[in-house]
Amino acid sequence: MYKFNTNDFLVRIPLFIIFFWFGLLKVINMSPATELVTETVFWMPFFQATTWAIIIGYWEMAIAVSYTHLTLPTSDLV
């Protein structure tokens, strides 16, 4: 597999910011996409749709943190 140089980190930082920011907005219930998410996941079991939106927000934040670790493949969380 091709080993990226240090410029790979320059791609990971903006992805971290984007994923973390939108995940955080879902967690604090200020995301404009929260309504879309809750209307999409209303059928999922175990929790209410608003709880699923918060879980998805935490998941996005976990993906963002994985972008900061060069040794962790980002495909592991997806």
pLDDT digits (tens, 9 = 90+) for 16-61: 899 899 899 988 988 888 888 888 887 878 888 788 888 889 999 9
Rg of the chain over all Cα atoms, to the nearest angstrom = 15
Domain that holds residue 55: 17-31+41-70
Give the separation between CA 76 and CA 72, rounded to whole angstroms: 8
Distance, CA of 28 to CA of 26 (rounded, Å): 6
Judge whether 60 lies within some domain.
yes
Is 5 inside any structural domain?
no
Task: Give the pTM.
Answer: 0.73
Eight-state DSSP code of residue 47: S
What's the pLDDT at 4? 56
Alpha helices for 1-78 (secondary structure H): 7-27, 34-40, 49-68
User: 58 in a domain, yes or no?
Assistant: yes
* Number of structural domains found in the chain: 1
**pLDDT of 76 above 70:** no
- Tell me whether residue 8 is in a domain: no
Residue 77 domain-assigned (yes or no)? no
pLDDT for 72:
60
Region 7-12: mean pLDDT is 74
Distance CA 19, CA 57 (A): 9
1 located within any domain: no
Give domain status of residue 10, yes or no: no
